[in-house]
A = this chain, B = another copy of it.
């Protein structure tokens, strides 16, 4: 038995944190413990002035001249080079542009083009993948007469990689459970089976070390507004392995991806490299905000970079898990894997009581925490109308601490989701978050009617 963690322990961890200077690069709202940076990252301190400069100087005064003078034209590449440093890619391999979904359409289309001659007709993914990824894959598969095969559990992936599989499309860290795939192993498995590997890094970039080139992945996309702190709806990014960059085209062939974008020729000729994954004119103000988020994340480089962030992230999530077990042992079970190698930068809980796992108080608990300034979020379980017993997770025994998690399977329970952004979350925050959770449970605060009215948008 390890002795219980104390507030002093948490304060000591904060005092020893080599990354504690990073917190000062962000503006954290007063009275808030923000455990939702996996949904929308916080405001970098440099952003308001920088965005105001882009508005009043670049737009207001520079106007059209700013394409040259403010270097708007290569902004997607300049930001892409910054992202590259966070995801194990090389300069010139990443562009920041469009949305994650649009970028997935581009790279999945390119990957399927690369496989056209092979006659392979299947895209493999997980049923628990982020839904928008599945929607995009569904659309491309329908249009091309291909099959989208969804596995219910990661353990089924190897068997699913048959000779018909063109692409294995996975999200590195599951948005709902926080379970993390072994990118290197799965990419190799895909390649051994003759398939290409497309990775969604929405919950990875800026959260966990990613080594796209070391893993020899084929295509990747990711999100600018989660762990990269790029602002609401910040443009996303796309990475293409250098061996594919000039080999395939993507179908959103807009002017910014043209080899000579200002020549205004009527015929399309794709730019060399990842530049061809650009399409139309990009939202410069939102790209500018993304740049502020990237600057703040890259300020971690002299302090140890992504490895140091990862070390702290695991310590934060370990501490959270230990404190929940210590303070609320009967009430919650763990959904996120305990094994470090399988865990992203978030912790998800479900209700321990099997009868409460779907439709129980999880939603109201999250609302009660938000009212207390502890912002996490709620993710509804699958198919509440289905018969009990259908899902693995609902079948798990409780009582073993926070229980044994089911990484990324189907039939998930209602989830309380807490993201831990190591750049600005500290150990005392974790202590206080769990303290509030314990109080919400002890005082049954979640029963209050105002926490049981669902918002239109959650």
How many identical chains are in the complex? Answer: 2
Among residues 31 to 56 in chain A, which have CB atoms less than 8 Å away from a CB atom of chain B?
A: 32, 34, 36, 39-40, 42-43, 47-48, 51-52, 55-56
For residue A91, CB closer than 8 A to chain B, the reply is: no
For residue A258, CB closer than 8 A to chain B, the reply is: yes
A44-70 vs B, CB cutoff 8 Å, 1 = contact: the mask equals 000110011001101111011111100
Using Cβ atoms and an 8 Å threshold, which residues of chain B touch A132? Answer: 254-255, 258, 280
Known: A64-B377, A136-B252, A252-B102. A231 touches B55 (CB 8 A): yes
For residue A92, CB closer than 8 A to chain B, the reply is: no
Min CB gap A33→B, angstroms: 12
Using Cβ atoms and an 8 Å threshold, which residues of chain B touch A302? Answer: none
For residue A359, CB closer than 8 A to chain B, the reply is: no
Known: A65-B375, A98-B102. A285 touches B286 (CB 8 A): yes
Among residues 401 to 446 in chain A, which have CB atoms less than 8 Å away from a CB atom of chain B?
A: none
Using Cβ atoms and an 8 Å threshold, which residues of chain B touch A255? Answer: 101, 131-132, 135
Of the stretches A9-17, A189-197, A260-268, A331-339, the one at the interface is: A260-268
For residue A214, CB closer than 8 A to chain B, the reply is: no
Known: A99-B280, A235-B283, A254-B132. A268 touches B40 (CB 8 A): no
Give the complex CA separation of A399 and B242 in angstroms.
56
Tell me the count of chain A residues lying within 8 A, CB to CB, of chain B.
88
Known: A60-B29, A251-B139, A283-B233. A458 touches B262 (CB 8 A): yes
Pairwise interchain contact A251-B284, C-beta atoms closer than 8 A: no
Give the complex CA separation of A286 and B258 in angstroms.
24
Give the complex CA separation of A287 and B231 in angstroms.
12
For residue A140, CB closer than 8 A to chain B, the reply is: yes
For residue A386, CB closer than 8 A to chain B, the reply is: no
Pairwise interchain contact B135-A254, C-beta atoms closer than 8 A: yes
For residue A143, CB closer than 8 A to chain B, the reply is: yes
For residue A23, CB closer than 8 A to chain B, the reply is: no
For residue A281, CB closer than 8 A to chain B, the reply is: yes
Using Cβ atoms and an 8 Å threshold, which residues of chain B touch A235? Answer: 283
Using Cβ atoms and an 8 Å threshold, which residues of chain B touch A248? Answer: none
Using Cβ atoms and an 8 Å threshold, which residues of chain B touch A283? Answer: 231-235, 283, 285-286
Using Cβ atoms and an 8 Å threshold, which residues of chain B touch A98? Answer: 98-99, 102, 280
Known: A68-B455, A135-B254. A63 touches B48 (CB 8 A): no
Pairwise interchain contact A457-B139, C-beta atoms closer than 8 A: no
Give the complex CA separation of A455 and B64 in angstroms.
13
Known: A42-B63, A262-B457. A236 touches B68 (CB 8 A): no
| Given A102-B102, A232-B281: 13 more A-B contacts, CB < 8 Å | A42-B63, A48-B56, A72-B232, A100-B280, A131-B255, A132-B254, A135-B253, A135-B258, A139-B251, A231-B284, A232-B284, A233-B284, A283-B283
| A interface residues, Cβ below 8 angstroms from B | 27, 29, 32, 34, 36, 39-40, 42-43, 47-48, 51-52, 55-56, 58-61, 63-68, 72-73, 98-102, 105, 127-129, 131-132, 134-136, 138-140, 143, 150, 176, 223, 225, 231-236, 249, 251-255, 258, 262-268, 279-287, 289, 370, 375, 377, 379-380, 455-458
21 contacts between A and B (CB under 8 A): A29-B60, A32-B63, A34-B63, A39-B64, A47-B55, A55-B231, A65-B375, A72-B232, A99-B281, A105-B252, A127-B266, A135-B255, A136-B254, A138-B253, A139-B249, A231-B283, A232-B285, A233-B282, A235-B283, A283-B285, A284-B286
